[in-house]
Amino acid sequence: MNAEYIEKIDETIYTKQLDNGLKILFVKKPEFNKVVASVTTKIGSINNAFKLDGKEYRISDGIAHFLEHKMFEKAEGDTFAKFSMYGGSANAYTSFDHTSYFFSSSAHFEENLNVLLEMMTTPYYTKETVDKEKGIIGEEIKMYQDDSNWILFFETVRNLYANHPISIDIAGTEETIADITAEELYLCYNTFYHPNNSVITIVGNFDEEVAMEAILKYYGTINTKNNFTPISISDTAVHKSSSVVKMDVNNPKCCVGYKQNKEITYDYKRDIAINIYLQMLFGKTSDNYEVLASKGFYPSYSYSEVGNVGFATISSDAVDTKLFFEMVEDLMNQDLNEDDFLIFKNKNIGEIVRNFNTVDSIMKMYTDAFVNEYNINDVLKQVEQLTFEDVCKYAKELFTNGNKTTVVIEGK
Amino acid sequence: MEFKNIDNVKYMYEDEHKFKTARVSFKYSLPIQTETCADLIVLNELMAMSCEKYPTVKLLNRKLSELYDAKVITNLSQKGKLIIFEVAFNYISNKYLPTNLDDEIIRLMNDILTKPNLTNQEYLDTIKQKRILEIEAIYDEKMQYAIKKMKETLDEKQEVLIDVNSTVEAIQLVSLESVNEIYQKLMSEANLTVTINSENSAELMQQISQGISFQVKTNNYDYLHTFEKRDSAVFIEETQNLTQSKLVVGSQLAIEPNDFIAFQVFNGIYGGFPFSRLFSNIREKQSLAYTVYSAFDAALNVMIIIAGIDNGDASQSGEAMLSNIMAALKHECDDIASGNVLAEEIDKSKKMLINSVKTSLDSQAATQLVHYSYGLRNETFSLTEFEKKVNAITIDDVVRMAKCVQFDVTYLLRGDK
């Protein structure tokens, strides 16, 4: 394996890529009790169209999440029970652009890893099990319909994007999952779960020889070709500038969303720059924090880049939603203090070091880096080299009125 | 973990090299009372906002950012009959930085703990407004709301199952005077434990004991709670405009500390883990719930069962769904109580329990909490000892624990969409 020592955080990262394209990444932490291992594939809710062997496919909305559920079920029973036999705690999640399966354990690493890798390489879908799962996922979809914060976020995203699959609920809808078949699941599995679209990450207290032997046993012999091409959609204009949703909520909630008005590819520098800009405007170190708090606003803010789109959200519970929108707009026109920027650099350097505190956050960082194709080992350097001008430039591109939407959730 | 008492302060400290940060936690404990929660929670937040030396949120947070993202974490929680007021400091270890932060951090601890800024009416009003919004927001977090309502019924007199977030009415009454009073009470009447995990914990402990002047006393406060058996079960129902219904069942227990681990093994088989019977039988096999699990709070002696269920449709009414799931929840417990437990189930539960404790020791905050919780009942935590005790649990212990469970209060938040 290739070893790269990161001096500033005193960690060594081991990497390897198999001939079939599978990426492998180990971070050894023998002083921890725990080990986490994950298999991540680049299929999420936005990956709903692709070309394979000259043919175009449009797959059901929500199928990435459906696959995630079905991977645990096998002919001999539920894989959760197998992990439990070895004290492993397993789970999985689906996001906009990837699906990750993982376990954590403090003993029986080899057995748990074998359970994970066997599960990932032996898909099992039948009409009966697929139909049964539709009921379970249907209930999960309904659960989110009662979650006002979830509705607020997705309504904002839908206002920003009419055509892009980012506007599709990660689990799909009861209607879109109704047509999913075992055949469609196999098509998606064979296309997206191929080694050249996946990474195995192991962090914590484990024996790397045992790990590599297990990985080669399950993945080393996969030599099938996989030449799919994702079909991406360009969606640069705001779909709807405002909307109101009625729900059974006690206090109104509101959100301002901004989108990049061009197609993008992930850029760590831009990502961190815009997040620093938001921290400088709305974080506790800004003068604005107290001004907003005095009016009862405690904004949550974030900026994300997913596939070829990037968007920011600023949301809060707010009795006076109109005032919140006005204040956010005023703040967006404010000049930032360059001296503050240096403090924020220190803060972000501290955050990156802190992320190496737990095996889970290390795994999450490296999973994100795999999905977005950047080198995590360089990020400290990138933050150190970031300038105030970079932050202002990126913020100016994103935060313009033409790129904006507003959403209010109010009681019925 | 090493222990030392200096000037009535209990220090627990351990050298730690696996984390990139140092963590120092100051935990003040007092008997929990409904009347003091509101003042304590407001004080807790005020102390994280500013102090005399850094009198605004901006100035304090600038200082923390300068110190490479140092954190002041305040928290108010409950441990049995005690309320725990915590102020913790977490900062990047010196070896990863161009400068040594220990001296500056100890000065900051002293400023925040002993010279708080409790004179700012605007901050007080801001916190009160925020707390009120958060209490009201529980109404929108339907599962949390259902759990809260069940607890209020289970402990009608509100002696122990007290919501530390307090109530809107109590928060409205908080004033600068009452916050100053509760601060004085906390500093003089609470038991104080300082837990230190850092590269040089003994040295840091000495520096803290010399650098900060504490005025606390040592008090003998009761910690564990035991319920008396309830004569009859209670069922409460409320309807809201929801797509799904939430069901919460509370069982008040009188488990002795010697049996805490046995009950945790039982709970693991019943509903505490993903392989448990509630998940595998009620959700996966019978599809009666989209979520279902159980949790045991040893210090409060309460087990809670939580389920999210369908409102019912044309093929099955809401009443039928409810009666089916109640019967299923009861059946799984009775089945274990009758001795119908596989050795494999016990083994899995033990492994999962040990795994969950071992993995929690990979977090600084959780490690400190485990040691602190054992310390509250004058015990010392040892992972080896814990594993030994878990592995000694027998099927008879599990059956005995299952027999202690009764469904005392059932709260149904019925959805009518």
- Which residues in chain B are contacts of A252 at CB distance < 8 A? none
* B391 min Cα distance to partner chain A (Å): 13
Q: Looking at the partner chain, which of B67, B275, B354 has a beta carbon nearest the beta carbon of A81?
A: B275
Closest CA to B149 of B163, B137, B159, B160: B163
- Considering only residues 283 to 302 of chain A, which have any Cβ-Cβ distance to chain B shorter than 8 Å? 283-287, 289-290, 293-294, 296, 298
Cα A130 → chain centroid: 25
pLDDT per residue over A245-274, tens digit each? 999 888 899 999 999 999 999 999 999 999
Give the A:B interface size as CB pairs under 8 Å: 176
Residue A68 has pLDDT above 90, yes or no: yes
| Distance in angstroms (rounded) separating the CA atoms of residues A279 and A302 | 9
Q: How many helices (H) and strands (E) does chain A have?
A: 15, 17
| Distance in angstroms (rounded) separating the CA atoms of residues B237 and B114 | 48
Asked if the Cβ–Cβ distance from B20 to A80 is below 8 Å, we say no
Tokens representing B189 are 């009447």
Q: Which of B140, B280, B384 to mutate to test the interface with A (most CBs of A within 10 A)?
A: B140
Three-state secondary structure call for residue B7: coil
Sign of the torsion angle spanned by Cα atoms B15, B17, B23, B29:
negative
Where in A212-252 does DSSP place strands (E)? 229-230, 242-247
Longest dimension (CA), chain A: 63
The number of C-alpha atoms within 13 Å of A36 and in the hemisphere containing its C-beta is: 22
- Which residues in chain B are contacts of A324 at CB distance < 8 A? none
Q: Looking at the partner chain, which of A143, A296, A356 has a beta carbon nearest the beta carbon of B290?
A: A143
Q: Whose structure tokens read 């007080």?
A: B124
| Distance in angstroms (rounded) separating the CA atoms of residues A294 and B120 | 12
Q: CA separation (Å) from B409 to B143, B235, B247, B306?
A: 16, 6, 11, 12
* A17 min Cα distance to partner chain B (Å): 29
Contact B304, B238 (CB under 8 A): no
Three-state secondary structure call for residue A264: coil
Residue A404, C-beta contacts closer than 8 angstroms, at least 6 positions apart: A238, A241, A256, A257, A258
* B43 min Cα distance to partner chain A (Å): 17
Buried b (16+ CB within 10 A) or exposed e, B201-233: beebbebbbeebebebeeeebebbbebeeeeee
Sheet holding A2-6, edge to edge: A2-6, A11-17, A23-28, A198-204, A35-41, A99-105, A89-94
Closest CA to B332 of B275, B269, B394: B269
* A19 min Cα distance to partner chain B (Å): 35
Q: Looking at the partner chain, which of B57, B290, B351 has a beta carbon nearest the beta carbon of A284?
A: B57
| Distance in angstroms (rounded) separating the CA atoms of residues B23 and B368 | 9
Residue type for A262, please?
Answer: K
Q: CA separation (Å) from A262 to A45, A125, A259, B409?
A: 21, 39, 9, 56
- Which residues in chain A are contacts of B104 at CB distance < 8 A? none
The number of C-alpha atoms within 13 Å of B263 and in the hemisphere containing its C-beta is: 23
Q: Which of A10, A294, A346 to mutate to test the interface with B (most CBs of B within 10 A)?
A: A346
Report ipTM (2 d.p.): 0.77
Q: Looking at the partner chain, which of B57, B62, B273 has a beta carbon nearest the beta carbon of A343?
A: B62
Cα B231 → chain centroid: 29
Contact A291, A326 (CB under 8 A): no
Q: CA separation (Å) from A279 to A11, A269, A343, A384, B180?
A: 28, 15, 11, 17, 32
Q: Which of B64, B68, B246 to mutate to test the interface with A (most CBs of A within 10 A)?
A: B68
Tokens representing A206 are 């484990």
Question: Can you give the length of chain A in residues?
Answer: 412
Main-chain phi, psi angles of A112, to 5 degrees: -65, -40
* A146 min Cα distance to partner chain B (Å): 6
Rg (CA), chain A: 22
pLDDT of residue B315: 52
Asked if the Cβ–Cβ distance from A34 to B358 is below 8 Å, we say yes
Closest CA to A317 of A247, A244, A252, A406: A252
Q: Which of B359, B364, B381 to mutate to test the interface with A (most CBs of A within 10 A)?
A: B359
Q: Looking at the partner chain, which of A31, A351, A354 has a beta carbon nearest the beta carbon of B18?
A: A31
Residue B378, C-beta contacts closer than 8 angstroms, at least 6 positions apart: none
The number of C-alpha atoms within 13 Å of B229 and in the hemisphere containing its C-beta is: 4
Rg (CA), chain B: 23
| Distance in angstroms (rounded) separating the CA atoms of residues B9 and B25 | 12
3-state helix, strand, coil split of chain A in percent (to 5) is 45, 25, 30
Q: Looking at the partner chain, which of A10, A132, A146 has a beta carbon nearest the beta carbon of B243?
A: A146
Type and span of the H or E element at B406: none
Asked if the Cβ–Cβ distance from B122 to A294 is below 8 Å, we say yes
Residue A20 has pLDDT above 70, yes or no: yes
Contact B25, B204 (CB under 8 A): no
- Percent of chain A topping pLDDT 90: 78
- Considering only residues 348 to 407 of chain A, which have any Cβ-Cβ distance to chain B shorter than 8 Å? 348-351, 353-354, 356-359
Asked if the Cβ–Cβ distance from A357 to B364 is below 8 Å, we say yes
pTM, rounded to two decimals: 0.82
Q: Please report which confidence band the pLDDT of residue A378 belongs to, taking 50, 70 and 90 as the band edges.
A: confident
Asked if the Cβ–Cβ distance from B244 to A78 is below 8 Å, we say no
* A98 min Cα distance to partner chain B (Å): 23
Closest CA to B392 of B357, B361, B353, B339: B353
Please give the mean pLDDT across all residues of chain A: 93
Q: Which of A69, A119, A145, A284 to mutate to test the interface with B (most CBs of B within 10 A)?
A: A284
Main-chain phi, psi angles of A3, to 5 degrees: -110, 130
pLDDT per residue over A141-150, tens digit each? 888 888 899 9
With the CA atoms of B220, B221, B225 and B229 taken in that order, what torsion angle do they form, in degrees rounded to the nearest 10? 80
* A51 min Cα distance to partner chain B (Å): 35
Asked if the Cβ–Cβ distance from A146 to B142 is below 8 Å, we say yes
pLDDT truncated to tens, each residue of chain B (417 aa)?
A: 899 999 999 999 999 888 999 999 999 999 999 999 999 999 999 999 999 999 999 899 999 999 999 999 999 999 999 999 999 999 999 889 888 899 999 999 999 999 999 999 999 999 999 999 888 887 778 888 999 999 999 888 778 888 898 999 999 999 999 999 999 999 999 999 999 999 999 999 999 999 998 988 888 898 888 888 888 899 999 998 888 899 999 999 999 999 999 999 999 999 999 889 999 999 888 888 889 999 999 989 999 999 998 876 545 666 777 889 999 999 999 999 999 999 999 999 999 999 889 989 999 999 999 999 999 988 999 999 999 999 999 999 999 999 999 999 999 998 877
- Which residues in chain B are contacts of A359 at CB distance < 8 A? 362
| Distance in angstroms (rounded) separating the CA atoms of residues B98 and B107 | 19
pLDDT of residue B188: 93
Pairing assessment for the beta strands A35-41 and A99-105 based on DSSP bridges: antiparallel
Asked if the Cβ–Cβ distance from B355 to A284 is below 8 Å, we say no
Tokens representing A87 are 């004290």
pLDDT of residue B316: 62
| Distance in angstroms (rounded) separating the CA atoms of residues A11 and A406 | 43
Closest CA to B245 of B322, B192, B165: B322
Cβ neighbours, 10 Å, residue A358: 23
Nearest CA in chain B to A291: B126
- Which residues in chain B are contacts of A69 at CB distance < 8 A? none
| Distance in angstroms (rounded) separating the CA atoms of residues A9 and A171 | 38
> Helix crossing, B343-360 with B260-267: angle to 10°?
110
| Distance in angstroms (rounded) separating the CA atoms of residues A8 and A66 | 41
Residue A321 has pLDDT above 80, yes or no: yes
Cβ neighbours, 10 Å, residue B270: 29
- Considering only residues 97 to 126 of chain A, which have any Cβ-Cβ distance to chain B shorter than 8 Å? 104-108
Q: Is B347 left (phi over 0), alpha (psi -120 to 50) or beta?
A: alpha
Tokens representing B243 are 């797509």
Q: Please report which confidence band the pLDDT of residue A231 belongs to, taking 50, 70 and 90 as the band edges.
A: very high
- Percent of chain A topping pLDDT 70: 100
Catalytic residue positions of A?
68
* A41 min Cα distance to partner chain B (Å): 23
Contact B269, B276 (CB under 8 A): yes
- Which residues in chain B are contacts of A349 at CB distance < 8 A? 68-69
Asked if the Cβ–Cβ distance from B244 to A139 is below 8 Å, we say yes
| Distance in angstroms (rounded) separating the CA atoms of residues A323 and A408 | 12
Asked if the Cβ–Cβ distance from A350 to B70 is below 8 Å, we say yes
Three-state secondary structure call for residue A32: coil
pLDDT per residue over A31-64, tens digit each? 999 999 999 999 999 999 999 989 999 999 999 9
Q: Exposed, middle or buried, A335 (CB in 10 Å: 0-12/13-18/19+)? A: exposed
